[in-house]
């Protein structure tokens, strides 16, 4: 892991209302497109939560969103993407954290800080969130094999983006793979604890301890 700060081309920002690849304001057309993505995904998730992922057809989702099937597939190439759309904004999150860190902060320190902040905020991405709607979505996600398999594709893209932010050498790609794996496992374990009936507040202390241990392990194995 080189630890070198990337140039401006990799310092990507963005949020749900703007493309992650550009800091420029969205055009009206782009904003309408993003709103359509969100509306169609929300309609699909509502149906999935009500009846189960495998019991809902793409035709039913298109009808609920008041669009045609061909239009739906222009937005979402696979049915699974309808459920996982909300993860798309997080694909390059770790890369953005590394790109935007302070000059005197290492990549691992920046990622550790960001993850611990997410735990404190009960960010759903960390798994430490007991909001009923979030819990229902996570049960849908982790209880549907095809969604879990599709999620790995999103995580692979997150890994590739992080590798580029780290320098994109062989050691950077190895580091990115290990970092993304640790973040995934930490978040999954948080969700599993909450799914067993504990509150986010009850799990918080264990989640912080596990995160600290995970980053110590990453540091000892990755930093030189």
What are 165's two structure tokens?
A: 């932010």
Q: For residue range 172-202, what is the model confidence (pLDDT) as tens digits?
A: 999 999 999 999 999 999 999 999 999 999 9
Tokens standing for residue 202: 């009850």
Contacts of 10 (CB under 8 A, 6+ apart): 95, 99, 164, 165
Average pLDDT over residues 42-55: 95
pTM reported for the whole predicted model: 0.80
pLDDT tens track for 133-163 = 999 999 999 999 999 999 988 899 999 999 9
* Cα 64 to Cα 46: distance, rounded to the nearest angstrom: 10
The neighbouring-strand residues paired with 15 are 18
């Amino acid at each position: 892991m080189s630890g070198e700060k990337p140039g401006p081309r990799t310092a990507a920002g963005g949020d749900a209302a703007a493309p992650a690849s550009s800091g420029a304001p969205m055009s009206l057309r782009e904003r309408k497109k993003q709103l359509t993505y969100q509306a169609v995904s929300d309609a699909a998730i509502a149906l999935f939560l009500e009846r189960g992922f495998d019991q809902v057809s793409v035709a039913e989702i298109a009808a609920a969103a008041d669009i045609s099937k061909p239009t739906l597939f222009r937005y979402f190439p696979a049915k699974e993407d309808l459920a996982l759309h909300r993860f798309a904004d997080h694909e390059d999150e770790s890369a953005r954290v590394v790109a935007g860190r302070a000059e005197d902060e290492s990549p691992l320190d920046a990622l550790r800080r960001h993850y611990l902040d997410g735990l404190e905020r009960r960010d759903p991405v960390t798994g430490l969130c007991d909001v009923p709607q979030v819990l229902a979505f996570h049960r849908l996600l982790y209880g549907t094999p095809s969604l879990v398999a599709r999620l790995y594709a999103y995580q692979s893209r997150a890994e590739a983006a992080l590798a580029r932010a780290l320098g994109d050498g062989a050691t950077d790609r190895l580091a990115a793979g290990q970092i993304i794996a640790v973040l995934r496992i930490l978040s999954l374990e948080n969700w599993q604890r909450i799914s067993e009936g504990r509150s986010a507040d009850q799990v918080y202390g264990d989640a912080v301890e596990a995160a600290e241990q995970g980053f110590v392990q990453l540091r000892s194995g990755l930093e030189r």
